[in-house]
Amino acid sequence: MRQYLMILLSLFFITSSVKSVPSGQLSLSSYLPEANYMDVSYGNDAKQKIDIFLPAGRSKSKTKVLVLIHGGGWTQGDKADFKDVLDSLKNRLPDYAIFNLNYQLANREGNFFPTQEEDIKAAIDFIFRKRKEYKISSRWVLAGASAGAHLALLQGYKYSKPVKPKAIINYFGPTDLDSLIANTDAKEKTKAELKIITNKAVNSSSPARLVNAHTPPTISFQGLSDGLVPPSQQTYLHNQLKAWKIPEKLELYPNEGHGFTPATMTKSMDAIVDFLKKYVK
């Protein structure tokens, strides 16, 4: 009899504990582990690949999206260039799914603009179509460095479909190509690359000339000793943003060039976290 009572009590407590789980709370069986997928194709070209980093516990309601676009003067570079910051981004932004893009590179024979712009849009469209499978929300952030920042700005400023970004992160990206070509402070290599890749599409490829009342909040980082992309590129952009009353933040770093020291990168990451907390909710 005593053993029988103990069994009944055990069953009671087990049943009670199951019923005490609040409605809507994730069960162990529905909790998604972290998942990484390398070199996922979003097009037919060998360069049209994405590395995907999905966080544990993700869901369509809470998991935000960070899209990374590498630099390299539109003619070189690779998504692997972000390998040193990926772990830091994952730790600082644990509720973000990260999508690290490659795209077709320009050269003297072809792949002129708008090839790169079209590739970024194709990648965005691909991710959006897969949003239910990836369990991600519609709160997206686009980020890039140098030419990648230019592409992130261009995508965020020109297109509101399939999803309008909540914020743009710009590391020393060109923002006004016409003035950059004419700027005597910019290196000849940069100006030559611009003339090659833009294929006369300068105005439509200049993010600063696309700012309007619907432009996403933008945070930019610029070294004051940058000889490739002069600081005037960022000040011009942010003057445009201010004129349209768009939320913005410009971080200028003395003695930094086209690329930052680890200490400055840490400062910039801190600023990114604060900015996203404010504008991506």
Those residues with Cβ within 8 angstroms of residue 157's Cβ, 6 or more apart along the chain or in another chain: 168, 207, 210, 211, 215, 216
Q: What pLDDT is attached to residue 15?
A: 36
Three-state secondary structure call for residue 31: coil
Q: What pLDDT is attached to residue 14?
A: 34
Is residue 177 within 8 A of residue 160, CB to CB? The reply is no
The helix (run of H) or strand (run of E) holding residue 182 is: helix 177-182
Q: What pLDDT is attached to residue 109?
A: 80
Whole-number Å distance between alpha carbons of 102 and 271: 26
> How much is the average pLDDT of 62-72?
98
Q: What pLDDT is attached to residue 25?
A: 45
Q: How does pLDDT run across 113-142, given as a tens digit for each residue? A: 889 999 999 999 999 999 999 999 999 999
- Of residues 189 and 161, the one with the higher pLDDT is 161
| pTM of structure | 0.87
Percent of the chain with pLDDT over 90: 73
Q: Which of 268, 191, 273, 274 is nearest to 230 (CA)?
A: 191
Q: What pLDDT is attached to residue 188?
A: 65
Q: How does pLDDT run across 181-210, given as a tens digit for each residue? A: 776 555 566 666 666 666 566 677 899 999
CATH topology of domain 33-279: Rossmann fold (3.40.50)
Those residues with Cβ within 8 angstroms of residue 215's Cβ, 6 or more apart along the chain or in another chain: 156, 157, 241, 244, 246
Q: How does pLDDT run across 2-31, given as a tens digit for each residue? A: 443 343 334 333 333 333 334 344 444 468
